[in-house]
């Protein structure tokens, strides 16, 4: 949505929500990141100015999966009263509330004065002491353990039943043929079969984030974790998926492009140990979940690189990440003993 059109839509929305016909809207801007369709704006009502973050689904897509705003709202609202730092949903609307933006939406307070780890200039991270960076990692793994303790059966009914492990392997099949270079995913058939053959017999089920990594964690410049961001991939399923994902995004052997893992932050094994300490138990079959994470992200990268090159969702970052499609597959094979 163009910013001029969005501003026109935000004015009546904000006047209605603030119950103030004189409320004004300013500072409407597209927010940074690679999920897209996120905007910041400011509202002045009387002497007060508030700043908000608006999330919309992409245009011309089915409002399901990652484009389902209600899924994200469900997860965020389930975190209320927990130990998980998060942005509380102030306003939201589903498919039956299209009067404001022509699509579902949600609004949360805008975070200011801090940053995520790994996007843009991260020198502020390496300027912190090693002890502070260790504490940042402990906060992250404690938040992840708290996410996994959410009473999902009572608070997350909208998210549906737990995703079976086999489905979590097979649901990526349809993206392979849409990859920028399907040949670059040459190990995909073998990996797919190994993952299915060596699937864990049992798994702890719960609310999972789906993309839990430092790039989705917002810290104050003092190293205090303020919010877990970007819940597009959340669901109910094996909570070890998140642990494998976090490990993969901090596992240098899995990557072949510059700046792939956050500089100065703990690597996979140390993060797993921190999570196990926070959760009170060992993560069983972790090698399988780490392999699954590398497998999935290799396919996701190929798919998003295809969208970029076809001009459907331009983002040159995928050209750089695309250099790691082969190493991600190789790491998955290594973890599976393949």
Asked whether residue 59 falls in the same domain as residue 184, the answer is: no
Comparison of pLDDT for 20 and 66, the residue scoring more? 20
Q: Are residues 86 and 190 in the same domain?
A: no
pLDDT tens, position by position, 89-104: 999 999 999 999 999 9
Q: Are residues 223 and 313 in the same domain?
A: yes
Confidence of residue 119 (pLDDT cuts 50, 70, 90): low
Instruction: Name the pLDDT band for 117 (thresholds 50, 70, 90).
Output: confident
Which CATH number do you get for residue 134?
3.90.1200.10
Please check whether residues 100 and 141 belong to one and the same domain. Answer: no
Contact 268, 238 (CB under 8 A): no
Last residue of a domain, one of 53, 76, 109: 109
Could you tell me if 36 and 176 lie in one domain?
A: no
Per-residue confidence (pLDDT) for residue 184, from 0 to 100: 96
**What's the CA gap between 338 and 321, in Å, rounded?**
24
pLDDT in tens, 272-303: 999 999 999 999 999 999 999 999 999 999 99
52-64: string of b/e by CB count within 10 Å (b at 16+)? bbbbbbeeeeeee
Same domain, 196 and 287: yes
Within a 10 A sphere around the Cβ of 67, how many other Cβ atoms?
Answer: 18
Residues 26 and 151 in one domain: no
260 closest CA partner among 325, 185, 190: 325
Same domain, 214 and 261: yes
Whole-structure pTM value: 0.94
Whether residues 92 and 36 fall in one domain: yes
Predicted confidence (pLDDT) at residue 71 exceeds the cutoff of 60 = yes
Same domain membership, residue 259 and residue 167 = yes
Q: Give the DSSP H/E element, type plus range, for residue 205.
A: strand 205-208
d(CA 187, CA 325): 10
Q: Range of 120's domain?
A: 114-335
Of 59, 77, 109, the last residue of a domain is 109
Same domain membership, residue 123 and residue 83: no
Cβ-proximal residues to 114 (8 Å cutoff; 6+ apart), any chain: 218, 219, 220, 221, 226
In this prediction, residue 122 has a pLDDT band, given cuts at 50, 70 and 90, of low
% of the chain surpassing 90 pLDDT: 86
Confidence band for 35, pLDDT divided at 50, 70 and 90: low
285: left (phi over 0), alpha (psi -120 to 50) or beta: left
Last-in-domain residue among 79, 109, 139: 109
Q: Report helix, strand or coil for 154.
A: helix
SS3 call for 207: strand
We report the CATH number of the domain holding residue 80 as: 3.30.200.20
Mean pLDDT of the chain: 94
What is the count of structural domains for the chain? 2
Residue range 192-249, pLDDT digits in tens: 999 999 999 999 999 999 999 999 999 999 999 999 999 999 999 999 999 999 999 9
**Rg of the chain (C-alpha set):** 20
pLDDT the model gives residue 33 = 60
Both 246 and 213 in one domain: the answer is: yes
């Amino acid at each position: 949505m163009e910013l001029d059109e969005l501003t026109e839509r935000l004015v009546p929305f904000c006047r209605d929500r603030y119950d103030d016909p004189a409320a004004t809207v300013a500072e409407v801007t597209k927010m940074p990141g690679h999920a897209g369709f996120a905007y910041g704006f400011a509202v002045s009502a009387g002497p007060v100015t508030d700043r908000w973050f608006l999330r919309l689904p992409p245009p011309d897509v089915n409002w399901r999966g990652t484009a389902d705003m209600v899924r994200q709202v469900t997860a965020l609202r389930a975190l209320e009263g927990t130990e998980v730092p998060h942005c509380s949903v102030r306003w939201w609307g589903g498919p039956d509330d299209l009067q404001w933006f022509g699509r579902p939406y949600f609004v949360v307070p805008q975070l200011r004065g801090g940053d995520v780890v790994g996007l843009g200039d991260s020198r502020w991270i390496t300027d912190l002491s090693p002890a502070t960076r260790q504490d940042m990692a402990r906060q992250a793994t404690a938040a992840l353990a708290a996410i996994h303790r959410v009473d999902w059966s009572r608070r997350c009914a909208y998210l549906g039943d737990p995703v079976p492990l086999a489905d979590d392997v097979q649901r990526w099949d349809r993206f392979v043929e849409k990859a920028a270079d399907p040949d670059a995913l040459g190990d995909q058939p073998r990996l797919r079969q190994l993952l299915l053959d060596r699937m864990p017999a049992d798994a702890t089920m719960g609310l999972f984030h789906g993309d839990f990594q430092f790039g989705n964690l917002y810290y104050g410049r003092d190293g205090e974790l303020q919010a877990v961001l970007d819940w597009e991939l959340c669901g109910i399923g094996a909570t070890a998926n998140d642990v494998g994902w976090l490990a993969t995004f901090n596992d240098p052997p899995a990557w072949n492009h510059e700046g792939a893992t956050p500089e100065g932050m703990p690597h996979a094994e140390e993060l797993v140990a921190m999570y196990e300490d926070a959760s009170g138990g060992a993560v069983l079959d972790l090698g399988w979940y780490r392999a699954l994470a590398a497998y999935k992200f290799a396919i996701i990268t190929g798919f998003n690189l295809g969208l970029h090159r076809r001009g459907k969702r331009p983002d040159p970052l995928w050209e750089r990440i695309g250099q790691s499609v082969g190493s991600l597959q190789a790491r998955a094979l290594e973890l599976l003993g393949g």
